[in-house]
Structure formats: C-alpha cells, structure tokens
Structure 1
Amino acid sequence: MEGIRPRVAVSSCLLGAPVRFNGGHSRDRFLTGELSEHVDWVPVCPEIEIGLGAPRETLRLERSPDGPRLVTRRTREDLTAPMAALAAERAAGLADVDGCVFKSRSPSCGLHGIPVYTGSGAAADRRGRGVFAAVVTAARPELAVEDEGRLHDAVLREAFVERIFASARLRALLAGDWRPRDLVAFHSRHKMQILAHAPVAYRRLGRLVAAAGDLPRERLAREYARTFRTAFLVRATVGRHVNVLHHCLGMIGGDLDPVRRADLAEVIASYRARRVALAVPLALLRHHARGGGARYAQARYVRDQTYLTPYPDALCLRNHVPA
C-alpha cells in the first residue's frame, strides 16, 4: 500500500482561501507546506456554504435551553438550523475522508474552548464547540479531528498524522476486492502499531481476524474498521512504546551479537528515561530488521510493521523528546 494518500477535510481558510469574516484567510504553514505534499485536501467553509459572504457579520454562540445557538452579533439572525443541516449533510458526504482539520476559535468550526454567551453579552461558558464541528464529530466519532492551533503541539501533530495515514491504508484495503486473507495480512502489518495505542483493541481485533473466514464480509469489515479506528483514539504512551520496542527487539535479538543487542536495549532505556526521541530506537530497529540470519522470517515481520514507518519519513514527527 505504498503511496497511500489520506483524504482530509479542512477549513478552507487554513489553505489560504479568503473566506474569513474579514475577507482574509488563516493560511497554516504546516498544512499548506509539509503535510500538503502527502495528503489530498477536501476544503470546506460552512459559512460560505450556507450563503454568507466574505467579509460578513461576525457570529457567536449564545446559550439557550436547547443548547448553544449560532447567531449574528449585530442583526441577531439565528443560523443554527441551516448550519446544523449543512453539517449533517457534509458528515454523510465525507464518509471517505480520513480526518478533518477545523479552524480554531470559530463559533462554527472550533473544537475546543469556544465562548458561549448569555443574552446580556457576557461569556457564560468557555467550553463550547462550534455548531458545524459538533454535528460532524457526533456523526463521525471515529474520525481523526484536530484544529490547526493544537497541531502546533508536536505530540498532538504526530498523533493526528498517524491516525489519518492508518485510516487511509484501511480505506484503501476495504475499497478494493479484498478477501479475508487480505485483512489478515493488513492486521499482521499493523499489530505493533495498534499495541502501542490500545492493548484491549489489539486483543479484540485479533479475535475478529481469527474468525475472518467465518464472519459475513460486510460485518467483518464494519466491526474491524470501527475497532481499528477507535484504537487510535487512545494516546500512545512512552510505556506502551517501550513495550512494543522490546517486542520487536525480542524478535530480532537472536540475530544480533551481544554488543549490538545491548546497544539497542540501552537506547530503548534512554527513550524510557525521556533522554532521546522515539526516532532513535526506531532507526536502530529498522536497520537491524533488514538483516538476515537464522530468524530471517521474524526480522522480515518486524521490518514490515507499519509501526516503524506509520507515515512518510519526510514529516519528521517522531524527533521530539517526550516530556
């Protein structure tokens, strides 16, 4: 599945489209730079799509008994219904996207910390979510979503990119004329990556794959896809990474001399102690897994794990030392 490109919905203003309330844009360097080389964008601007222009009157969320309402600040027009209807339509039409990047601090697209005002104008709550984003995320709870502000954080950026590439590989498999053995092979390549996130999902997926030949094809695909994508909602921790690194070391260690085996174990310990980035032990594992020896099949198994290369190396997302 080399060359797989995730499809990612994105607020149009983040790609440089002049659709903001002031007629400007919020072009994001990471999205339009490094990441754009590896993904296919699906631009969305809900304000424009419900008929608002650019520039336009600003919007805000206001408290009501039925939940936050999206209203224009000056003319007090309630746009909640058309925005929610568009979001429901878009959520259904985005079934083949692998993730979504929303505009932060937007009353329509914001994911976190959007102020919800009272009628008097005071902010009663700063934990709101934009109307469009709320409907989309409720309809697609397994979808990888972030806003561009949080993607400036190295850990959140790496987690998001890992999720969209994992989702894209699964989408590509299930879109073809796959057979149970193809799903088994797919799962085998992703085992260590899943284990680094969610050991419980790892075991459940293993049971699904073991019964692959007995389950109806559509049910198997549906249950595997839901569990697979949900697994990546769980944050990979240093401890789980160390567990996976030792799993891989155990599989290739028999082909290494004592000095090289000790060196790799020492680097894993340095990562556990948060002295080096994850990229360091991974580079050594990839190097040693290319070798042969009496246990060549196990070395090949490690070499083929998506855990070692979950997305293009050019993105350099595992180079940060964990806090």
Structure 2
Amino acid sequence: MTAQSILIGISACVLGEQVRFDGGHKRNAFVNDELASFAQFLPICPEVAIGMPIPRKAIRLIQDEERVALVETKDESQDYTDTMNQFSKDKALELTSLPLCGYVVCAKSPTCGMERVKVYRQNFAEKDGVGLYTRQLQEQLPWLPIEEDGRLHDDVLRENFVTRVFSLHDLYESLGDNPTVKDVVNFHSRYKLMLMAHHPQSYRSLGRMVANIKNYDLGEFIEEYRLGLMNALSHRASRKNNTNVLMHFQGYFKRDLSKTQKAELTQVIHDYRKGVLPLLAPVTLIKHYLTMYPDEYLSQQRYLEPYPQELKLRYGL
C-alpha cells in the first residue's frame, strides 16, 4: 500500500480548514494524523462552494409544506435550498467519474450531516434529517463508504469504514482500466472470508453472481458487484461471524498443526469468542502458522490484513 494512494472526499472543516460558519473548524485527529498517511483527501465545503462567506449566519433545515429547505436560522427568507441542491447534484455527478473510495462528512451539519440532522417543523424539531449535500452523495454514489467525523471515535465504526475504503480501493486497483472475468474472479476469491465475516447472506449471493458472471455484460456486472460488496461490508463483522471465519481458517491447518498447536489456536479463538482477547490475537497466530505452513488460498485472504497494520484498528475489536 503506497502513501497518498487512496482518494477520499472530506468535509473541509474536518480536515482542519477554518470554513465553518463561525470561522472555526472540526479537525479530526484520526483522519489527519493516521489515515492521512495512506490517503489523498479531496476537501469540499458546500456552503463556501456556493459563495457563502466566512464567517456567516448560521443555517438550518426546515420542513415546509412541500420540501425540506435550507435557510438562515434567524431569517428564513434567506433561502439557499435551490442553490445548494444544484451544487450538490453537480458535484456528486462529478465525483462519479473519480476513483473515490470514501467520504468523511461533518456530523449534524445541515449540508453534510449523514444522519440525525435537526429538521425544524412548525412547533418542534426532530433529529431525522440528512444534509442536502450528503443526501446527493448517497443517492448518486450508493456504493460509496460515507461516515461522519464523530462516529469515527467509535472503534467498531472506524474499523468498518476503513475496511470498506481499502476494499473499494483494492477493487479499483485489481480490476484496472480493462478488467477481465479472471480479474473479477480472483478479486472475489480473496474476499470470500471477509464477506463471510461481515454478511454471510451476501457471501452466498455474491458467490452465485460470480459463478454466473458469463451471463452478464461485464461492465454491468462490475457495477452490480461493487454495490453488493460495499453493502455487504457495511454490516459490522460480529464476534460470532468472526469466530466462524477463524474456525474456517483452523480447519485448513488440521493436517499440519501439532496437537499442542491445535490446542493453542483453539484456545485463542475461544478466548476471542468470549471477549477475553481482541481479534488481533487469533489473526496474528494464524498469520504465524501460515509462515510455517504456507497455503496460497489462505495467504491471499484479505480478511487477514484488510488495511495497513499501522492503523492499529483491530486492537479494540
């Protein structure tokens, strides 16, 4: 994995740019101090992009009779809805032409929030909205991993987002500009156990798709497969599913490991299942055994290293 190789969109304020309504920022430490070593960021502030100044009047979403509108908080006659929607549609369409592998948006923002954004109605407000810009990203790039800056503080959500980002990048790198059926089959083979951990139903359905790939137009197949893969990986890998995958690995070693080694691996997997050890422990032991007893199929499984170890994301899982 080379530095600066993965293109990730980001709310400019999350990158530390002072573009918020009050002239401040929402710099995210994980993004800037750790993920930045492996990514090239594309910073966008939709509000500045449509010409709003810094600093500026606060804005919010309101529900009127026909639509959700974006207006100034203290003067609802100052309506930015149409301008923001047009910018958002155009920018999202532009982004579909780039090898974008993820997007980090600013939580609670009426333009960038991914969920639980306040929408003001006649006599009350509910946290049930989506920022106007992010809604267009979701609609026009449904395969794209999108996460909020605040949710990246959660170990599980952070690991899941990074897994999806690196997996999408791997898909683009593996298929290249002139993909072949063999490229797709080889990629899917490397992701079988990853899919089993995240979403067993998709593991089976995508497996059937790949088995019947010759019945598809390849370009259409890749688009459908990309969406299915990203949807599958958006499900968090549960402890139960991870344990199942670890036992699957264990089964491949049954003829190679000594009685003592088998007992050691069984105990480590059992301790992970009970929550005594993090996922890193059995994965590290399996990788150790693979150096002793090489297996081409197991060694290529992306599950063992879905992203650079330097990110230290499996320590708390």
TM tier relative to shorter chain: over 0.9
Secondary structure of the 2:119 match is strand
Q: Which residue of 1 aligns with 2:95?
A: 94
Is the 8 Å Cα contact of residues 195 and 202 (structure 2) preserved in structure 1?
yes
Deviation readout 1:155-182 (Å, 9 max, x if unpaired): 1000000000001111223333222112
Amino acid at match of 1:317: L
Give the gaps of 5 or more residues in structure 2: none
Give the gaps of 5 or more residues in structure 1: none
Q: In the aligned structure 2, how far is the partner of 1:21 from the partner of 1:178?
A: 45
| Aligned residue runs from structure 1 range 226-237, under 5 A | 226-237=227-238
- The answer to whether structure 1 residue 116 and structure 2 residue 119 are counterparts is yes
- The answer to whether structure 1 residue 74 and structure 2 residue 74 are counterparts is yes
| Aligned residue runs from structure 1 range 1-323, under 5 A | 2-3=1-2, 5-76=5-76, 77-95=78-96, 96-119=99-122, 123-292=124-293, 296=294, 299-321=295-317
CA apart distance, 1:232: 1.0
Q: In the aligned structure 2, how far is the partner of 1:66 from the partner of 1:173?
A: 45
Is the 8 Å Cα contact of residues 101 and 144 (structure 2) preserved in structure 1?
yes
Q: In the aligned structure 1, how far is the partner of 2:281 from the partner of 2:74?
A: 55
Calculate the TM-score normalised by the size of structure 2: 0.94
Taking only the aligned residue pairs, the percentage that are identical comes to 35
Deviation readout 1:187-237 (Å, 9 max, x if unpaired): 111111111111121112212222334532212222222211221122211
Is the 8 Å Cα contact of residues 175 and 183 (structure 2) preserved in structure 1?
no
Q: In the aligned structure 2, how far is the partner of 1:300 from the partner of 1:291?
A: 13
Aligned positions, number: 313
Secondary structure of the 1:75 match is coil
Secondary structure of the 1:15 match is coil
Q: In the aligned structure 1, how far is the partner of 2:140 from the partner of 2:224?
A: 17
RMSD across aligned positions (CA) = 1.6
Amino acid at match of 1:47: E
Q: In the aligned structure 2, how far is the partner of 1:39 from the partner of 1:252?
A: 36
Secondary structure of the 2:25 match is coil
Q: In the aligned structure 2, how far is the partner of 1:126 from the partner of 1:207?
A: 40
Deviation readout 1:62-90 (Å, 9 max, x if unpaired): 12122321101233211111111111112
Is the 8 Å Cα contact of residues 10 and 101 (structure 1) preserved in structure 2?
yes
Structure 1 stretches of at least 4 aligned residues deviating more than 4 Å after TM superposition: none
Amino acid at match of 1:91: A
Seen in structure 2, the aligned counterparts of structure 1 residues 174 and 87 have a Cα distance that, compared at 3 Å, is farther
